Amino acid sequence: MSNEPHNVVGIDVSKGKSTIAVMRPFGEIVISPFEVKHTSSDLKVLADTLNKLDGETRVVMEYTGKYYQPIARYLYESGLYVSVVHAKIIHDFANNSIRRIKTDKADAVKIANYGLSNWEVLPSYTKEDDTRLMLKTLNRQYNHLMNQYVVARNVLISIADQTCPGLNEVFTNPRKADGRIKWAEVYRRFWHCEYITGFSRNKFISLYNNWCVKNGFRGSDEKASELYLLAKECVPTLPKTEYTKKIVEQAASELISLSDAMASVHREMLSIAKTLPEYPAVLSINGIGETLGPQLMAEIGDVRRFLKRSNITAFAGVDAPPFQSGKFDSKSRRISKRGSCELRKQLFQVVRIIVQLNLYDDPVYQFVMRKKAEGKPYYVYMVAGCNKLLRIYYARVKEYLAAENAI
């Protein structure tokens, strides 16, 4: 450091407000800890105050969900040097006291002390591109809807097992791109086995085919006959009453609504992903299509912010840090899991697709099979495949973007 005064602004971020502490080397407190609300007026006062300090000023804060984003972006746009640090690093910094003090003011001072100790290596915050931020937000919404969809689907199958067991297995059609689920809509219309058998076989076939035409599905005498024969053999546990009908209609409508919402969000994600320069390179990778492609792009972001491949694997949490002490050197380590769990889930899905499709010429498939042949457990060789896939993604996308910029 030079002789010029250095100011570190430690910010303990919480929802809607933050606690600020401004310090200089040797524990000098420039401004005692105080609170700031995440409003434009309060943030303007804070930015003006920090810009008036003598010497160079750097702002340090933790990653805290989405809460840090308003203050980090505002201070960055006000011309201040902003550094956002992983909360685990701050947590482990200078824990040299027996007393466990946990207050917002103490945390702000701790963050400021971390900034002073690591002044030269504080990573610079880079404002996230609005397009990528929107894509990531949509991806999180899509994953939330997916979790609800799985629960709603299991609930509807459970109800179907009590009114017309096996109905969902009659229809093997996958969920359509527009979100429609044929078996759920059929079940909402033909909600009980006794309702189905209340018609003659020919009458039901005619009724089913007319319903399919009216609702945009393909009719089939064979499928209608299969459903009718199933209904005749069913032993329901819920009676054919108006209450049961309402239960079925409500559960089916919830599942259909969630599926529609997922399809809508996915369309928006795909539309945004296609505007990003790396989209063709991402979809050229085996196992990645129009669903997982935008999701991976959303979670990884711009690969150019990672200086080397080890940075991106650490970001995803699929790296296995070394553990050695004295003569002991561990040869088998768990992955760190410090990064995005959503990203790890999507990487795992891509690797599983590659393995299921038996893509013999794919380097990820070859790597996974080699680890499997070595006797590695399932999750060990699959996670190793995720690491390999992520490195390929990094190299291919970065090379593609460099070539595009050179043109």
Report whether pLDDT(399) > 60.
Answer: yes
What is the reported pLDDT for 128? 79
Return d(Cα 20, Cα 33) in angstroms, integer. 5
pLDDT band, residue 89 (cuts 50/70/90): confident
Q: 262 and 138, same structural domain? A: yes
What is the reported pLDDT for 126? 82
Q: 111 and 81, same structural domain? A: yes
Report whether pLDDT(88) > 90.
Answer: no
Report whether pLDDT(309) > 70.
Answer: yes
Q: Mean of the pLDDT values across residues 20-29?
A: 90
Q: 224 and 356, same structural domain? A: no
Q: 265 and 145, same structural domain? A: yes
Identify whether 25 is part of a domain: yes
Q: Mean of the pLDDT values across residues 318-346?
A: 71
What is the reported pLDDT for 38? 92
Please identify, among 96, 127, 158, the residue that sits at the C-terminal boundary of a domain: 127
What is the reported pLDDT for 66? 82
For residues 269 and 295, the answer to whether their CB atoms sit within 8 Å is yes
Identify whether 398 is part of a domain: yes
What is the reported pLDDT for 323? 56
Question: Could you tell me the two tokens for 78?
Answer: 């006000």
Report whether pLDDT(335) > 90.
Answer: no
Which CATH number belongs to the domain containing residue 158 in this structure? 1.10.287.4070
Identify whether 228 is part of a domain: yes
Report whether pLDDT(324) > 60.
Answer: no
Which CATH number belongs to the domain containing residue 123 in this structure? 3.30.420.10
What is the reported pLDDT for 172? 81
Q: 395 and 357, same structural domain? A: yes
Q: 269 and 139, same structural domain? A: yes
- Whether pTM > 0.75 for this model: the answer is yes
Please identify, among 273, 290, 311, the residue that sits at the C-terminal boundary of a domain: 273
149 vs 100, higher pLDDT? 149
What is the reported pLDDT for 326? 63
Report whether pLDDT(259) > 80.
Answer: yes
Number of domains the chain is built from = 3
What is the reported pLDDT for 328? 55
Identify whether 1 is part of a domain: no
Q: Which of 14-28, 117-131, 325-339 has the lowest mean pLDDT?
A: 325-339
Q: 183 and 228, same structural domain? A: yes
Q: 254 and 233, same structural domain? A: yes
Please identify, among 92, 127, 162, the residue that sits at the C-terminal boundary of a domain: 127
Question: Could you tell me the two tokens for 127?
Answer: 């404002």
How confident is the prediction for the chain on average, in pLDDT? 89
- The residue with tokens 């320069």 is 277
pLDDT band, residue 334 (cuts 50/70/90): confident
pLDDT band, residue 365 (cuts 50/70/90): very high
Identify whether 283 is part of a domain: yes
pLDDT band, residue 292 (cuts 50/70/90): very high
pLDDT band, residue 73 (cuts 50/70/90): very high
Return d(Cα 379, Cα 386) in angstroms, integer. 10
What is the reported pLDDT for 313? 87
- Burial grade of 267 (CB within 10 A; 0-12, 13-18, 19 or more): middle
Report whether pLDDT(209) > 90.
Answer: yes
Q: 269 and 196, same structural domain? A: yes
What is the reported pLDDT for 150? 96
pLDDT band, residue 198 (cuts 50/70/90): very high
Q: 401 and 286, same structural domain? A: yes
Return d(Cα 123, Cα 85) in angstroms, integer. 8
Calculate what percentage of the chain has a pLDDT beyond 90.
Answer: 69
Q: Mean of the pLDDT values across residues 362-367?
A: 95
Identify whether 220 is part of a domain: yes
Structural domain including 96 reads: 6-127
Identify whether 187 is part of a domain: yes
Q: 181 and 62, same structural domain? A: no
Report whether pLDDT(125) > 80.
Answer: yes
Return d(Cα 76, Cα 120) in angstroms, integer. 18
Q: Mean of the pLDDT values across residues 200-204?
A: 95
pLDDT band, residue 341 (cuts 50/70/90): confident
Calculate what percentage of the chain has a pLDDT beyond 70.
Answer: 93
Q: Mean of the pLDDT values across residues 27-52?
A: 92
Q: 285 and 266, same structural domain? A: no
The 3-class secondary structure across the chain, one letter per residue, is CCCCCEEEEEEEEECCEEEEEEEEHHHEEEEEEEEEECCHHHHHHHHHHHHCCCCEEEEEEECCCCCCHHHHHHHHHCCCEEEEECHHHHHHCCCCCCCCCCCHHHHHHHHHHHHHHCHHHCCCCCCCCHHHHHHHHHHHHHHHHHHHHHHHHHHHHHHHHHHCCCHHHHCCCCCCCCCCCHHHHHHHHCCCHHHHCCCCHHHHHHHHHHHHHHCCCCCCHHHHHHHHHHHHHCCCCCCCCHHHHHHHHHHHHHHHHHHHHHHHHHHHHHHHHCCCCCHHHHHCCCCCCCCHHHHHHHHHCCHHHCCCHHHHHHHHCCCCCCCEECCEECCCCCCCCCCCHHHHHHHHHHHHHHHHCCCCCCHHHHHHHHHHHCCCCHHHHHHHHHHHHHHHHHHHHHHHHHHHHHC
Return d(Cα 308, Cα 395) in angstroms, integer. 9
What is the reported pLDDT for 199? 95
Identify whether 183 is part of a domain: yes
